[in-house]
Amino acid sequence: MRNYYVIIGKNATCPQHGKEIVLNAKYRFTGNPNNDYEVCFSKATCPIVENPKLHEDEQNEEYKDLDCPVQNCPLLDDFPKMWDSRNPL
């Protein structure tokens, strides 16, 4: 399962806008023979940051007028580097 990924969501409150959001983290399965569910952090995304990248017809209205000036949001760095994908974050 070394080349497979899983997306795990985590609820958070945006420090800039005070909105409840779901951050998504992409984890890669490690191929650990002792734990088939072990995953390694790859990257995290925020719906407020990702929304403007979508085509206008595909954008979520809830985030349409929001902008994020934060370059390195601490919420996106607050994911464990290794995780058991059976467990919620």
Could you write out the DSSP letters of every residue in 15-80?
TTT--EEEEEEEEEE---TT-TTEEEEEEEE-HHHHGGGS-GGGS-GGGTT-----SS-TTTT-S-
Structure tokens at 75: 């919420």
Q: What is the pTM of this model?
A: 0.85
pLDDT at 36: 94
- pLDDT of 1 over the 90 cut: no
Structure tokens at 25: 């983290």
Cα separation of the two ends of the chain: 21
Q: Name the pLDDT band for 18 (thresholds 50, 70, 90).
A: very high
Round the CA-based radius of gyration of the chain to a whole number and report it. Answer: 15
- Least confident range from 26-30, 70-74, 83-87: namely 70-74
